[in-house]
Amino acid sequence: MSDVKYVVVLPTNPEYDRVTEVAIRGTLLQEPQQFSINFVNSPSCTDNITYHFKVNIPSQKIIQNYKSDGEWSASEQQTVLNIFDDFRLCCIGFLWNRA
C-alpha cells in the first residue's frame, strides 16, 4: 500500500473542552486494500497516536486502537457486512486527556 499522507490541524474553540464529532471525506484510489486515519497531538511524534482507525476492505474489518510511548494497545475489531453501503462510521466513547 502506498502512503498518501494528509495533515490537518483541527480548529479549537475555547467555549468547548473537547471535540465531539469529526467528519472526514475522501475518495479512495482504484481497488484499495486498506486505509487508515490517525489522530495525533503532533505529526512529528510517531510514538504516540491518540486514536488509530484502519479499514481492511477485502475482509470488511474495522480495526481501532492507540499507541502510547511506542507501544500499541490491544486492538478492537469489527466486521461490517458491507462497509460502503452507508460509510458513516461512528466511534463512540473514545476520550483522551489533554496534556
Residue whose C-alpha cell is 457486512: 81
Q: Per-residue pLDDT for 95 more than 50?
A: no
CA separation for the pair 10, 19 (Å, rounded): 9
Q: Give tens-digit pLDDT for 64-90.
A: 999 999 999 999 998 876 766 544 444
Residue 17 or residue 60, greater confidence: 60
Q: Give tens-digit pLDDT for 19-41.
A: 777 888 888 888 888 989 998 88
How would DSSP label each residue in 10-60?
PP--TT-SS---------PPSS--EEEEEE-S-TT--S-EEEEEEEETTTT
β-pairing verdict for 61-68 and 76-79:
antiparallel
pLDDT category at 58 given cuts 50, 70, 90 is confident
Q: What pLDDT, on a 0 to 100 scale, did the predictor assign at position 1?
A: 43
